[in-house]
Structure 1
Amino acid sequence: MNTEQKNNVLLSLAQLLELNRGNIKEVNEADMQTFPGMDDSMKDRLKVDDKKIDGMIRSLEEVASQPDPEGKILYEFVREDRLRIVNQTVPFGTILIIYESRPDVTIEAAATAFKAGNRILLKGGKEARQTNILLTGLWQQALDGQNVNTDWVQYLDLSREETQSLIKENSHRVDLIIPRGGEGLIRFVQENTSVPVIVSGRGNNFLFVDDNSDFGMAVRLVLNGKKRISVCNAIDKVLLHKGLDELEEKLSYLVTHLSEKGIEVWGDKEIASLCNTIKIENDAATLCEEYLAPKLYLTLVDGIQDAINMVNLYSGGHTAVIVTNDATNATEFMQQVDCAAVYHNASSRFTDGGQFGVGAEIAISTQKLHFRGPLGAQELVTNKWFVYGNGQIRE
């Protein structure tokens, strides 16, 4: 496919989403009714309303407007013997996306891989089966309408056992697997396939409030970080510098505002002794947990190095925030914290492909290879060497 064909497919799909709003919401409601016992986090991820459809349409338009990631020259060298050597971007090939409960992945993640010239195999969770099949059908209408083979985007309507077999045997000749879901899914894929894997890792994001900081700002950032509990860029842990002036009053102010928003506040025995409405949790294992729930954990730290050490030991490597008026401390924290995205005085909720200007994302990678953070179309390519000669030989 050339760039124009790709963009026409994406824009055609955006139009089909608009035309099928009612049908999409109706089918999605049927999926919701099939699993009535879902918790609030699962419901938030599964539900497709007008706002989510608007987001899908916007993502398709953004990806269509971006430069084509394919064929970009990364390096070019002409030797003395006129041998021309070019390194340029090429698609991975076939990408398998395995995901749970988020039908918008069917549109947005597939769009990024498609723009980069990859074929896409989609395997969603059973809880969103009907919605995913409908959305994939719209993909295939858009492809067919632009005279593009419909096998560029396919939905794998497989059982759990069939999916596990696919992962182990690679019967579809997959070149890259991207698992988006819980740690159990990610671990199974990593342990049972020889295919390269990009991990869209867990959140469990930390926010550190330095002793020299605007505490009102810190409270706003914490509250915004818990505005949606089902997303991987939510804040789960808040570290407070022990040297904060009026620590008890500020702590009470933070806990009160969180409680008003329906957020349960937990902490260790030390911090709970300063505010009796904090529930005590002394099990250090909670520091490793991504809550995906209206819950937040507070603890005290001795200073910036203590905060850095805690983030690097316990977080998911996704996002970390420092709230401080000290530029030197901000730089130290941002350089030393081992996360894909680090923030100074801003909400963790911006860790998102659309917010970062890369459009729709296929994943937020917490690995160091091959890219970290939101992966858009520009990151879903690999490279290849093209060598052009006229009979040259190496002596």
Structure 2
Amino acid sequence: MFNGRPLAPFELGAGVRQGDHLSPAHFVLFIEPFLNFLRVKIQDMGSLCGSSTHSVISFADDSTGLLHDLRHTKDFLGFTVVLPFRPWSAATAPLRLELEQLGVEVVGNSGRTKLLGIYYGPQLSNADRLQHLLAEMQARCFLWTHRSRTLRGQFSASVCHVPATGFQDQVSTLISRFLCKSKSNIALPKDWWFLPPGLGGLGLTPVSDMIHSLQVHMLCKVILAARTHSIAGVPSWVEPVIRLFDQAISPWGQDFDILYAPVSTSPDYAKSHRWAQLEDYWHSVLFVWNTRLRKKLARRQSSFDKLSIPILNNEQELFRPSDLYQVCGSTVTCETLSVFLRTLQHCRSTGASACSNLLARLHCFLGPLKVFPIGPAPTTRYFCAFHDWVFDDTTLEELIVSRIRSIIVKCINPVLPLSRLGLDEGPPPTM
């Protein structure tokens, strides 16, 4: 709560809030049906204008009833409901009786309603109001939790490309102004800001590393969603991502084969035309994945992982070693490979020499497969999403934002200003 009202994440719905005169829900659910009811119920009582009868003038929730005979006023009052702010008592009983005789519907002391989003009743206690408030807050928290776990509710930096210049520079400037009010030589160098406290630093996280960890975590969510829903169909927010990966990696591979792609250029600097279809966001995410996370990848691939690892950098429609075994049989030779390549219309080099060179390049993929794996394959699609991704003994399922940040952050011990202390050499390594 802030200034007596829920914060934006706790607001239900969007647009104009309940109680506003232009609230679409207020008009559609209440005013419009009520006006249609009046037109049908009292169509013969309205004001005559030529051959037409008009019973209501309305704009938004402002309504004016029209009668050609004021003796029908009592019929109009039958649609009026009176809910008192104070409980009816013996002193106010005559007033209640007069209103009922007039034709107005009068609500008793036990009546309750919702006025501008707040429950109200003549005898509604504070405890009852609290129960209504708790139920509403529970609904808001449930909705907030749902949004925070979906793509719509994620922090904008995790789903939007944030260029290295611009926003990041502004945040860095704010940090500098907060930490160092003075521009003199006694200001703490930036190298010490991001150094862990155990090494004498402040332990801050660089803005770029914080953004990269959020974005890589989003990539992990996409991979896990593909694992969970590979047979029944992936969620609607994952499907366009996989389709984009498939277009970008073509003709080298399919869908999650891009996790092995050599995306070595950042969209903020030297952008590679090869990965232009990824656009800036996923180009940046896969750049961080390839250059900073895959370096920490533990070599724990199973035989099935080695069989489905993407070959890349070829246009012979050979996406992975399993494709080679499928077209060449249990033994891959130059002769069997040449026969397959002749069936491809766009393949020009089909001779024994070309096949021998191709197999020499593929030896790093075929060599580790000493024994062909036997048994059911883990999956029939999205092969690379099911690979055993382990980074520094942390599996993909365990990669939370803070763990990703600890993997990609590089801390360099700054040089100590020993000259200010009158020392020429640093302390011994054993110190």
Q: Shorter-normalised TM-score: what interval?
A: under 0.3
Which gives a bigger RCO, structure 1 or 2 (Cα 8 Å, sep 6+)?
A: 1
| TM superposition score normalised by structure 1 | 0.24
Higher helix share goes to which structure?
Answer: 2
